[in-house]
Amino acid sequence: MMTNTEGRFITMSFLPPRTFSVQLCIAETNEIFSLPQCQNDLTLKKLKPHLELLTGIPINFQRLQYLDEVDLLDDSTFKDNEIVPGGTITMCIWRQDGWGRLVAAAAKGETVKLAHLGVTEDFAGTTPYAEFLGPERRKEWVAHRAFVALFVASHRGHVRTAEFLLRHGADLHFKTPLGRTALHVAAVMGHCACIELLLSYGAQAFDPDHEGQTAVSLARLLGQKQSERTVFRFELKKKAAGALPSIVSESSLAADI
């Protein structure tokens, strides 16, 4: 409310915050993604969970930069960083221990390169970090790298790379810090062949992330109807074969799909 010179109240209508689009470039892969509906008061902390789905890069590997090579603070806003409409944010992958090369190989579906980057249990090489690990820690190290590779490859729809990783022990039940699996991002991107592959290896279609979203509900939210249908057909076939767990009823299937 404001008053005029006569002391009478004037009602002012406030417009919604202006939204605009920017681009995001992944430095290691040169991929470009569009980020619509940005606002000046949007913090990087709120943006990163969306980027995990958009880019297929787990949130704990995201380093965001703008104009220079300084990492943007999570609690800073677009306005704080002077990010303008049409600008380009750069995402860099944590470079320690060869993660950037691993993500780039997975994003491009370069299976042979991945095999030499520590994603299989029979990996004979090492890295400056891995050479100090004992047997158990080394197994955990390989498992983590295999999951990240599977997550990125599934997001891009690289079926052969995903199958290679699964055949060599990648755990599709591993999750990002936000509780998302490879199936979540395959469904979000509509990669039905990857969805079928992951489900055939035992991926859980109704396993929620930390926001309560399943692969199916995320697909529905983002308009990926073919992803929904692919999961639905697979679960119905499994049910018909008598392999569907009894805790998942037909009514709950229908409700979620």
pLDDT over 80 at 211, yes or no:
yes
Per-residue confidence (pLDDT) for residue 14, from 0 to 100: 58
pLDDT recorded at residue 79 = 97
**pLDDT > 70? residue 12:** no
The pLDDT, as a whole number, for residue 2 is: 43
Distance between start and end Cα atoms, the chain:
48
Q: What is the pLDDT of residue 126?
A: 61
Tokens at residue 30, please?
A: 């040169």
Residue 130: what pLDDT? 64
How sure is the predictor about 52, in pLDDT bands with cuts at 50, 70 and 90?
very high
CB atoms within 10 A of CB 212: 8
CB 191 within 8 A of CB 207: no
Whole-angstrom distance, CA of residue 61 vs CA of residue 59? 5
pLDDT single digits (tens) 127-155: 666 667 777 888 888 999 999 999 999 99
Query: At the top level of CATH, which class does the domain 98-256 belong to?
Result: mainly alpha
Neighbours of 220 (CB within 10 A): 17
Percent of the chain predicted with pLDDT > 70: 84
Please tell me the predicted confidence (pLDDT) of residue 233. Answer: 94
- Lowest mean pLDDT: which of 21-30, 129-138, 206-215? 129-138
Interatomic CA distance for residues 91 and 7, integer angstroms: 53
Range name among 9-13, 22-26, 134-138 with the lowest pLDDT average:
9-13
Q: Is the pLDDT of residue 29 over 80?
A: yes
Sheet holding 20-26, edge to edge: 31-38, 20-26, 88-93, 62-66
- Of 37-46, 52-61, 108-117, 118-127, the range with the lowest mean pLDDT is 118-127
Average pLDDT, the chain: 87
**Paired sense of beta strands 88-93 and 20-26, if any:** parallel
pLDDT above 50: residue 164: yes
Please tell me the predicted confidence (pLDDT) of residue 64.
Answer: 98
How far apart, in whole angstroms, are the C-alpha atoms of residue 191 and residue 157?
Answer: 5
How far is Cα 212 from Cα 217, in angstroms, rounded to an integer? 9
Residue with more model confidence, 14 or 227: 227
Q: Is the model's pLDDT at 53 over the cut of 70?
A: yes
CB–CB of 67/112 below 8 Å?
no
What is the tally of helices (H) and strands (E) in the chain? 10, 6
> What does the domain layout of the chain look like in residue ranges?
20-93, 98-256
- CB atoms under 10 Å from CB of 1, counted, come to 6
Q: Of 46-55, 97-106, 109-118, 248-257, which range is least confident?
A: 248-257
> What's the confidence (pLDDT) of residue 97?
84
Copy the structure tokens of residue 161.
């790379």
CATH class of 20-93: alpha beta
Whole-prediction pTM: 0.85
